[in-house]
Structure 1
Amino acid sequence: HRGISLDYCDPGFTPLVVLELTSETKEEAIGWLLRRIRDLQQNGGAELLVEQLGPGVGAQEKENPNMFLVGASQQRLLSGAEDVGLFKECSDGSMRAFTCTNKHKFKDFKGDGDSFLSMAECQYIIKHELDTLRARDETHVPGYTEVKLYPGKSIIRRLQSKGILIQLFPLHEKEELKRLSFSWYKKVKLSFQPLDDIRHYYGEGQAFYFGFLEYFTFALVPMALIGVPYYLFDWEGYDKYVVFAMFNLIWCTVILELWKRYSASLAYHWGTLSRKKAFEEPRPGFHGVLGFNPVTGREEPIYPNAKRQLRIYLVSVPFVLLCLYLSLYVMMIYFQMEAWALSVHDDEPTFWAGILIFIPSIIYAVVIEIMNLIYRYAAEFLTEWENHRLESSYQNHLVLKVLVFNFFNCFASLFYIAFVMQDMVLLRQSLATLLITSQILNQFMEACLPYWLQRRRNKKMINRVRKRRTLEDKELPLVEQVRLEADMSMYLGTFDDYLEQFLLFGYVSLFSCVYPLAAVLVVLNNFTEVYSDAFKMCRVFKRPFSDPAANIGVWQLAFEAMSVIAVVTNFALIGISPQVKAYFSDSETQLILWTVAIEHVLLAFKFLLAFLIPDIPKHIQIRLSRLEFESLEALKKKVEQGQRGHPDCSAATQPHTKQAVNLCVLTYLLHQLLQQFCCWPRPHGPAFTI
């Protein structure tokens, strides 16, 4: 294999993606994989460019020689953009799926389109082409008789699941990363994040997370502004929280509905709102007996759904319930420690006894974080063992397991204090301790610790390179950059980031009426979170592949479920307040009935408000409808041209074809009338696309 020299690679070859095999990979397997990557598409190959990475300066024996750089010609990238259904902006300002035949109608397409696709889009296309590289007549990987291959099975995913392929990651673009870093986190400023630049470099999935983080932070500002004077002038009145609770009820509903409108605007602007999801391939770790897929017509592993359901309900569900019981047991130990600390303080109210009161809450907050971390690993193991075929199914089951435990582990003690003990002083103290302690631990674990470990790991390599370079050389060579990035930690996605925001949203929406400074603490946390997350994305982790998302996915449902719980919780807090209890001093049953009745009315109002606020802004709906109409007109014109071009068509066939087209148009117009006047069905995107 040809190796790339220190500062040179073949003209016309731009390294975009790094593919690393194990150092013990057999030569016949390497040669076979490279041939398949380079081969023409009509021969079953990916038609990509690939070169082996040469040794670096002062190369050591422990360096892995089986590292390869993958790129593609410009024409191959453009055809790949059409294959993945990439949406780009046209000259008329609309967003349309890119096609090579109409490439000159798209904005910014000049010459051969060298700068038309961003580097992140090019890397996503290459990953898609590698993932869809399928086995043909091979029964096994050459040199590995135990690694079976099935016709139509993804080669890259098979090599990943068997540990032959160590990692596949996109390269950073140093100059673009410098510009992004400077505008993103290297200067402290009170302004919006460069979401378009983030999307351009990292893709829509990352941009949506940082967009939600920014939006959530700004949405907390009104609550923080109200909370500060409310806290200062109501320090002694722990029971005077009815007004703030009512504000919570409206706030948690409105901000989520407005976020859906804002995210729809972003998705349309980025070209992912109307994008059709491609057929989802099986996960690399999915295994089973070789069978026939009736959808794709290919042979692939088949795993009985009944067996998976048995694993879920007989093993996973009991395990989750056991963990919830252990969490409850730890919570009761915390209350015993709290009672002991209060008794010590009551017996001898000294300075140290006053500090001792906060110790149980701090210990409990640390224990919660440790339990969440341990449970996360257990949940990942169980979800992997359930053997889900699709990555989306795997993520949904993992999110459900983690959310249930984290919600119970973080909020059970607060619910117990609020509604069983009804001690608002202790509730305020516990909430403040949990918020502050968890934020300090999260900032340390997410940014400081990974950066410190990465700095130690990279220091030796950087020093080794600089000793062998002249003082005039200011940049690391390509080979050393690749090996430096290969040793960086793999970015595991936005799961933990969204989970942290979900818990913070819960603290604010559920109990901030008792502790109004909660919103202030979360705003401060998120302000630093923006910079720490941006820093670790640019300096700590490998560059992730672009994720063409249209929204924040399943997390939208999680936040909406939390807002429903917030309505019930806040009104229950109103119901147990002394002011409300005073009106029902004679009958506690009437208090409960009135509380439940009004709470149901407020829930109905919440759902009505969510229904009345459209998920997609009106101007975007009009643009999408216009695209649908143009698609129908184009289809109608194409059919008419086909009829004129085929005069030998039977007379019976032409009227039926025309009727079918007219029926499509009538169906479309009827849908628009129902949408405009009856508000049904509720728009979530294009009604249909032809």
Structure 2
Amino acid sequence: MAKDVNILFDELEAVNSPCKDDDSLLHPGNLTSTSDDASRLEAGGETVPEKNKSNGLYFRDGKCRIDYILVYRKSNPQMEKREIFERNIRAEGLQMEKESSLINSDIIFVKLHAPWEVLGRYAEQMNVRMPFRRKIYYLPRRYKFMSRIDKQISSFRRWLPKKPMRLDKETLPDLEENDCYTAPFSQQRIHHFIIHNKDTFFNNATRSRIVHHILQRIKYEEGKNKIGLNRLLTNGSYEAAFPLHEGSYRSKNSIRTHGAVNHRHLLHECWASWGVWYKYQPLDLVRRYFGEKIGLYFAWLGWYTGMLFPAAFIGLFVFLYGVITLDHCQVSKEVCQATDIIMCPVCDKYCPFMRLSDSCVYAKVTHLFDNGATVFFAVFMAVWATVFLEFWKRRRAVIAYDWDLIDWEEEEEEIRPQFEAKYSKKERMNPISGKPEPYQAFADKCSRLIVSASGIFFMICVVIAAVFGIVIYRVVTVSTFAAFKWALIRNNSQVATTGTAVCINFCIIMLLNVLYEKVALLLTNLEQPRTESEWENSFTLKMFLFQFVNLNSSTFYIAFFLGRFTGHPGAYLRLINRWRLEECHPSGCLIDLCMQMGIIMVLKQTWNNFMELGYPLIQNWWTRRKVRQEHGPERKLSFPQWEKDYNLQPMNAYGLFDEYLEMILQFGFTTIFVAAFPLAPLLALLNNIIEIRLDAYKFVTQWRRPLASRAKDIGIWYGILEGIGILSVITNAFVIAITSDFIPRLVYAYKYGPCAGQGEAGQKCMVGYVNASLSVFRISDFENRSEPESDGSEFSGTPLKYCRYRDYRDPPHSLVPYGYTLQFWHVLAARLAFIIVFEHLVFCIKHLISYLIPDLPKDLRDRMRREKYLIQEMMYEAELERLQKERKERKKNGKAHHNEWP
């Protein structure tokens, strides 16, 4: 459709329907653009309002709006580079004005303004899409009927005191800036665009983006690598560079009675306020203020949070089902009543013998997560992940259409300045644009990728080494806690070992994350990606691999390796022929996995929330406190906007990476091991409800305004989500088959229990399961280094001769002592069969759902077809009008020629 629009430009006359400009997005009668005010006053010969000169959004003349701010210190020695850079800025046509800080005279603010000529020239180079004709919507009869119903429902809701999960549109402006066809801006075809006022034609976000594009390509020294604002920020020539917020986010008057002071104030009241946590997000306003990339992030986060409601409800139901059926669980009953079953020590020497009934609490807790509904929930979550991704594609398509991103392609992205500088001598023709551009040789690219892949492999090995260290810690400390003086720790040595290991693991995770970030940045810059999106995708993939392995490696160890390769009493497997490998608790390994997931998930989300909001709040509070001490509280209100924004925290250098990474890792926790921890979706939901408002509050109040940038989707994160969805099917199959006792209980019920051969599987069929799942060991067969200090006489008054352990092995007096029983092989075969059947069944369901759900909603497809049809009609009419004009001209020329004939 974009190509048709461009062709239409050649024929279409500038007869356009009026389209609302950016300033009409503000509350009518409550707020008017100061830039528009200035232009009207200037045209009428009036003086510029004094507020324009004092609010910090304009130059001293009150007419030129500030599009970008650079900050440096006079004491900085890089003065020559700054002078060359600023001289080249003026040469590009940007206007500049400098101002000293009111707090520190050593700080200088450089205010930049882009005149119309500069904006037009670079908007054409950057393919900035601007409106040229109002859209004509096609609404079928059934949608008109539904719209009337929606209006009636909306009028009814006005009588309600609250509107749960509704956007409060009474306080929002009329967001209809998307009701226009757009096309790449062209100065030759400028008469086709809707330009009511040149000062407001490009909104503030677009103006800042154009200025940033210019600054990234200006030289500060002679040389191919001596260009760009980023390098000057890196070497300290400038301290900061940012666009301005539109003013204060606070107002003395209520927004309902007096309207919004500016768009920032509007976002704070209708989006970033805690009082609207249950409302929909004003995504159009977020996109208008922060750009499409940030708007898409919050759209995805809101969609993900909404989709967590059914997952959280089903997970809570599975947990409550375990609570309700706890008293009827035959397995936990037998464990609690097994006072005569003595279990073998779980570590060498210091660990005592223990009654199986001592693990009664752990057996009951295990049943809460490992019950008959677990398999159903695992299948549901695998299907849920697919439905979530498929419906997000539909939601993204609607957003891309509304935000005019359907035809936005990666070819429209600019080449990174670093790539241009590095490969400026090697050029080739771009097959799309036909223009020469820098080119990276294939051999050079391959060699850099090989070095980068080697670095990734090395860092993953570092993670595995860290996990190995945690394993050694668990093996060593379990004996230490068993010999502890405090009875509480001594009697719960395994729980203490698991809890402390998880906390230490969390600290190691956070420390290694700092190292990973630096290594990933180094490797990504070494690859020399061509565009910013390629750089972001490469950096994102590295950081995700590092952090995913770092965060989940110990969880994988507990789920699939803990207690699986320990051997048996009398023939334990040992680490470095010294330390005996850790065993599971007598009630199973699932409790360890639950503890690992619960502690890591809660600590990780708490830490992330503190770092995202708590840390900026503390930093900004400390800055304000220093200002009050040095200059007094009365100076606070007189600061211009650039001073206020400079005292805020800068946005993360990697953009939205940290926000996406936090949510993607949470998605992994929610899906990959959900069979072991059904409450994970509920914890994720509660966190995300808070996360949306935390992020909104942070963006609006605590951070400098980020540079607005375009994007048509969430990038490489979608592919990562699909990979996690596939991995979750495999891991949940293995968790149910290997980690939980679901398969052993099923085999016992149908093959070895009281109901064997009857086709029943109730609780009465589980009678005797605990005894059948435990093997017998003769204490005299212990190795010398494994023999416990206690002889077990405290249980019966005489030394014990036998103890029990979890395994399916023959007794010591059989023909093959401690050999595997037939039940072991039946359980093993059932586990393998379950994994194969589960994976194939779930993957078939996933692919079927993916096939049945179209990527584009039908109404959106109809609207796009309707627009294409209208554009073809306009092209036909324009062509017909051109032919009629040519015919009239030929007739006129023919008559003139006839009159001239003698």
What TM-score bracket applies, with the shorter chain setting the length?
0.7 to 0.9
**Deviation, structure 1 residue 167:** 4.7
1:458-497 counterparts in 2 under 5 A? 458-461=624-627, 464=630, 469=635, 474-478=637-641, 480-481=643-644, 483-484=646-647, 488=650, 492-497=654-659
**Deviation, structure 1 residue 378:** 0.7
Per the alignment, residue 264 of structure 1 pairs with 397
In the alignment, structure 1 residue 96 sits paired with structure 2 residue 181: yes
1:101-500 counterparts in 2 under 5 A? 101-104=191-194, 111-112=196-197, 118-128=203-213, 144-146=221-223, 167-174=240-247, 175-188=262-275, 189-234=277-322, 235-237=365-367, 238-240=369-371, 241-286=374-419, 287-288=422-423, 290-295=425-430, 302-313=439-450, 315-343=451-479, 350-353=487-490, 354=492, 356-357=496-497, 358-421=499-562, 423-461=589-627, 464=630, 469=635, 474-478=637-641, 480-481=643-644, 483-484=646-647, 488=650, 492-500=654-662
Per the alignment, residue 566 of structure 1 pairs with 728
Q: What's the % identity of the aligned pairs?
A: 25
Per the alignment, residue 33 of structure 1 pairs with 88
1:536-570, CA deviations, whole angstroms, 9 ceiling, x for partnerless residues? 21233221111222221111111111001111222
8 Å contact 1:74–1:114 — kept in the other structure?
Answer: no
In the alignment, structure 1 residue 547 sits paired with structure 2 residue 687: no
Go from structure 1 to structure 2 and tell me whether the alpha carbon gap of 1:420 and 1:489 turns closer, same or farther (over 3 Å shift).
closer
After superposition, the CA RMSD in angstroms is 3.6
Go from structure 1 to structure 2 and tell me whether the alpha carbon gap of 1:259 and 1:382 turns closer, same or farther (over 3 Å shift).
same
Per the alignment, residue 682 of structure 1 pairs with none
In structure 1, distance between residues paired with 2:225 and 2:512:
39
Go from structure 1 to structure 2 and tell me whether the alpha carbon gap of 1:424 and 1:161 turns closer, same or farther (over 3 Å shift).
closer
1:183-240, CA deviations, whole angstroms, 9 ceiling, x for partnerless residues? 2233333222232222221112112212222222222222222223422442342542
1:298-327, CA deviations, whole angstroms, 9 ceiling, x for partnerless residues? 7765543312321221x2222222222221
**One-letter amino acid of the counterpart of residue 454, structure 2:** P
In structure 1, distance between residues paired with 2:541 and 2:622:
36
**Deviation, structure 1 residue 113:** 6.8
**Deviation, structure 1 residue 173:** 0.7
**Deviation, structure 1 residue 114:** 5.7
The number of equivalent residue pairs is 611
Tell me, what secondary structure is at the counterpart of 1:293? Answer: strand
8 Å contact 1:5–1:54 — kept in the other structure?
Answer: no
8 Å contact 2:674–2:680 — kept in the other structure?
Answer: yes
**Deviation, structure 1 residue 589:** 4.4
8 Å contact 1:14–1:72 — kept in the other structure?
Answer: no
In structure 1, distance between residues paired with 2:629 and 2:886:
73
In structure 2, distance between residues paired with 1:610 and 1:506:
20
Per the alignment, residue 856 of structure 2 pairs with 616
In structure 2, distance between residues paired with 1:34 and 1:115:
23
**One-letter amino acid of the counterpart of residue 378, structure 2:** A
8 Å contact 2:69–2:642 — kept in the other structure?
Answer: no
Per the alignment, residue 839 of structure 2 pairs with 599
8 Å contact 2:620–2:647 — kept in the other structure?
Answer: no
1:516 to 662, 669, 678: 678
Tell me, what secondary structure is at the counterpart of 1:397? Answer: helix
1:608-687 counterparts in 2 under 5 A? 608-638=848-878
In structure 1, distance between residues paired with 2:540 and 2:689:
25
Tell me, what secondary structure is at the counterpart of 2:61? Answer: coil
8 Å contact 1:265–1:620 — kept in the other structure?
Answer: yes
In the alignment, structure 1 residue 70 sits paired with structure 2 residue 113: yes
**One-letter amino acid of the counterpart of residue 356, structure 1:** A
Go from structure 1 to structure 2 and tell me whether the alpha carbon gap of 1:84 and 1:156 turns closer, same or farther (over 3 Å shift).
farther
**One-letter amino acid of the counterpart of residue 296, structure 2:** F
Tell me, what secondary structure is at the counterpart of 1:68? Answer: strand
1:252-295, CA deviations, whole angstroms, 9 ceiling, x for partnerless residues? 11111112212222222222233344533332333246232322
Go from structure 1 to structure 2 and tell me whether the alpha carbon gap of 1:70 and 1:21 turns closer, same or farther (over 3 Å shift).
farther
Per the alignment, residue 160 of structure 2 pairs with none
8 Å contact 2:127–2:412 — kept in the other structure?
Answer: no
In structure 2, distance between residues paired with 1:479 and 1:500:
31
In structure 1, distance between residues paired with 2:289 and 2:831:
56
Tell me, what secondary structure is at the counterpart of 1:441? Answer: helix
Go from structure 1 to structure 2 and tell me whether the alpha carbon gap of 1:30 and 1:224 turns closer, same or farther (over 3 Å shift).
closer
In the alignment, structure 1 residue 10 sits paired with structure 2 residue 61: yes
Tell me, what secondary structure is at the counterpart of 1:54? Answer: strand
The normalised TM-score by structure 1 is: 0.79
Tell me, what secondary structure is at the counterpart of 1:97? Answer: strand
Tell me, what secondary structure is at the counterpart of 2:600? Answer: helix
**One-letter amino acid of the counterpart of residue 515, structure 1:** F
1:409-454, CA deviations, whole angstroms, 9 ceiling, x for partnerless residues? 2222222222233621211111111111211221222221233223
Stretches of structure 1 lacking an aligned partner (at least 5 in a row):
39-47, 135-139, 648-690
Go from structure 1 to structure 2 and tell me whether the alpha carbon gap of 1:417 and 1:212 turns closer, same or farther (over 3 Å shift).
same
Stretches of structure 2 lacking an aligned partner (at least 5 in a row):
1-51, 138-178, 248-261, 323-364, 565-588, 752-822, 888-902
Go from structure 1 to structure 2 and tell me whether the alpha carbon gap of 1:166 and 1:308 turns closer, same or farther (over 3 Å shift).
farther
8 Å contact 1:13–1:73 — kept in the other structure?
Answer: no
In structure 2, distance between residues paired with 1:303 and 1:158:
21
Go from structure 1 to structure 2 and tell me whether the alpha carbon gap of 1:391 and 1:527 turns closer, same or farther (over 3 Å shift).
same
Per the alignment, residue 567 of structure 2 pairs with none
**One-letter amino acid of the counterpart of residue 298, structure 2:** F
**Deviation, structure 1 residue 516:** 1.5
**One-letter amino acid of the counterpart of residue 839, structure 2:** E
**Deviation, structure 1 residue 392:** 2.1
**One-letter amino acid of the counterpart of residue 846, structure 2:** K
In structure 2, distance between residues paired with 1:623 and 1:196:
19
In structure 2, distance between residues paired with 1:534 and 1:303:
40
8 Å contact 1:120–1:203 — kept in the other structure?
Answer: yes
Tell me, what secondary structure is at the counterpart of 1:192? Answer: coil
**Deviation, structure 1 residue 51:** 2.5
Most deviating of 252-261 and 95-104: 95-104
Most deviating of 282-291 and 582-591: 582-591
